[in-house]
Amino acid sequence: MKPANIQVYPNPQLLAEAAVKHFIEQAHLNISVNDRFNVALSGGSTPKAMHQLLADKYSDLVDWSKVNFYWGDERSVPPEHPDSNYGMAKETLLDHIDIEPRQVHRIEAALPPEEAAYEYIRTLRDYIGSETPNLDLIFLGMGDDGHTASLFPHTTALQETENWVVANQVEKLDTWRITLTAPFINQATQITFLVAGENKALALKQILEGPHQPELYPSQLIQPVSGQLLWLLDQAAASRLESPE
């Protein structure tokens, strides 16, 4: 595994600032080179601070007309459900920037899970090509059990080697999720984890400094084929790392 690029920030606020700066840099780079920026957002709670900061203070630094949004995973709920990752992004970012609905590609998670996964593969093929599509930037979070996107320990999605998107039954949550797979994520040009909080510190130490055991710590599956991997951490999440920087 290539040594990861790890950046540690003193607190969640400075971490959010760093994540916004990273988003803007990536947007400028990809828009200047390719005249477009295809970015996948992650769910959960950690990205909210970055989304709100980007929307409230820095939105005029991005040419939103060139940006297309995707998601790394989604819960099996409709978009208006409080658990929806799309709904969270809509509330904290999308409703506050100048972007058209045709530039926002949510996972149709109200469909039966397998159908939602199939439809999202079509969406990705339609918008970013059907060869080896590589999103410009994929944001990922990490759970305290070491999962990322909806790649949870001991679930079937961890074994997927072909499909870009799968429906994944997560027994411990008694639910289905729709998730990008590791082979697809690893095609991205830039993969960036955003992890905050003391409760993530033990899993993060295992993932970055422990043996390779992705069944237990699925975030270890994330190893870019030719792109870059960046971990943006706050001090609390990094507190158990030997040499965090």
Which residues contribute to the site for ligand 6PG (CB under 6 A)?
A: 42-46, 72-73, 85, 141-143, 147-150
C-alpha dihedral, 94 to 97 to 100 to 101, nearest 10°: 10
Half-sphere exposure of 221 (CA within 13 A, CB side): 29
Please, which residue, 197 or 210, has the CB nearer to ligand 6PG?
Answer: 197
Closer to ligand 6PG by Cβ: residue 28 or 78: 78
Minimum separation from the CB atom of position 212 to ligand 6PG (A): 20
Residue 73 vs 136, nearer CB to ligand 6PG: 73
Token representation of residue 239 = 């507190």
Q: What are the structure tokens assigned to 57, written together?
A: 């203070």
Tell me how far, at minimum, the Cβ of 199 lies from ligand 6PG, in Å: 8
Whole-angstrom distance, CA of residue 107 vs CA of residue 120: 6
**Ramachandran bin of 44, using left for φ above 0, alpha for ψ from -120 to 50, beta for the remaining angles:** left
Residue placing its CB nearer to ligand 6PG in the complex, 6 or 149: 149
> Any idea which residue has 């040009």 for tokens?
189
* Nearest residue to ligand 6PG, by Cβ distance, number only: 141
Q: How far apart are CA 149 and CA 138, in angstroms?
A: 10
- Distance of closest approach, residue 173 Cβ to ligand 6PG, in angstroms: 10
Rank residues 66 and 223 by Cβ distance to ligand 6PG and give the closer one: 223
Least Å distance between CB 71 and ligand 6PG?
8
Smaller CB separation from ligand 6PG, 43 or 87? 43
Closest CA to 144 of 196, 191, 67, 104: 196
CB of 192 to ligand 6PG, least distance (A): 12
Min dist CB 216 to ligand 6PG, Å, is 16
**Under DSSP, is residue 79 helix (H, G, I), strand (E, B) or coil?**
coil
Phi, psi of 191 (to 5 degrees): -120, 125
